[in-house]
Amino acid sequence: MLEPSKLNIEDAVFTFIDVETTGLSPRAARVCEVAAISFRGAERVGTLAELVNPGGPIPPEVSKIHGITDEMVKDSPAFGAVAPRLLDMLEGSVIVAHNAEFDTAFLSAELERVGLKFPELPVLDTLLLARRNWKFKSNRLGNIAAELNIPNGSWHRALSDVEMTRKIFEHFVNVFRTAGAVTVADLIEKSGGKK
């Protein structure tokens, strides 16, 4: 199988990921929701949206941000039960996230806790792409969506955030294609990453 970064943009599977968490530190806080959608071109090839029992209380001030409460996750699976499906979706794909370092750090920590490893895959960060190639008033996900006239649904829930990230990414890719981008490596270069 071809290394994902060597693929042409239309042949690559892009998996958009987002997590909601109980706090900001991947060492101390836990994932309480994970969402991923995979696309090859315009075809959706996979969806995962799962509340996760973090194994401890969600601080009320954090619940205010994403709306996920202890009550909502009490009967949800632990991360270890969701991990195999997530890893299956990620396999051979290009990961896309907004502020990808946050999501990948949390997923890496959660996978490590259950004896698994986060896969070594190309990662495209719509935050870095926005900073390097556009001049938005703010590079927050909702602000970029608003400036690009992309409607946003329920705020700060993992699935709506990945859908929004996908729409923003598609906008960026169309602009890059017009400028001559053909491969995933070309997109990685646009974000300042290495091929």
C-alpha to C-alpha distance for 97 and 158, rounded to whole angstroms:
11
Q: Which residues pair with 36 in a beta bridge?
A: 17, 48
In a domain, 14, yes or no: yes
C-alpha to C-alpha distance for 10 and 55, rounded to whole angstroms:
40
**How many distinct structural domains can be found in the chain?**
1
pLDDT, residue 20, reads 97
Nearest residue to 89 (alpha-carbon basis) of 110, 109, 118? 118
In a domain, 21, yes or no: yes
Q: Which residues pair with 157 in a beta bridge?
A: none
Reported as a single tens digit per residue, the pLDDT across 97-135 is 999 999 999 999 999 999 999 999 999 999 999 999 999
pLDDT, residue 154, reads 63
Over pLDDT 70: what percentage of the chain?
96
C-alpha to C-alpha distance for 52 and 45, rounded to whole angstroms:
22
In a domain, 140, yes or no: yes
When mean pLDDT is compared across 5-9, 28-32, 54-58, 106-110, the lowest value belongs to: 5-9
In a domain, 63, yes or no: yes
Reported as a single tens digit per residue, the pLDDT across 162-189 is 999 999 999 999 999 999 999 999 999 9
In a domain, 144, yes or no: yes
Q: Is the per-residue pLDDT at 195 higher than 60?
A: no
pLDDT, residue 5, reads 87
Q: What is the set of active-site residues?
A: 156
Phi, psi of 93 (to 5 degrees): -110, 175
63: containing domain: 4-190
Q: Is the per-residue pLDDT at 193 higher than 90?
A: no
In a domain, 195, yes or no: no
**CATH code assigned at 34:** 3.30.420.10
Reported as a single tens digit per residue, the pLDDT across 43-53 is 999 999 999 99
pTM of the full structure: 0.95
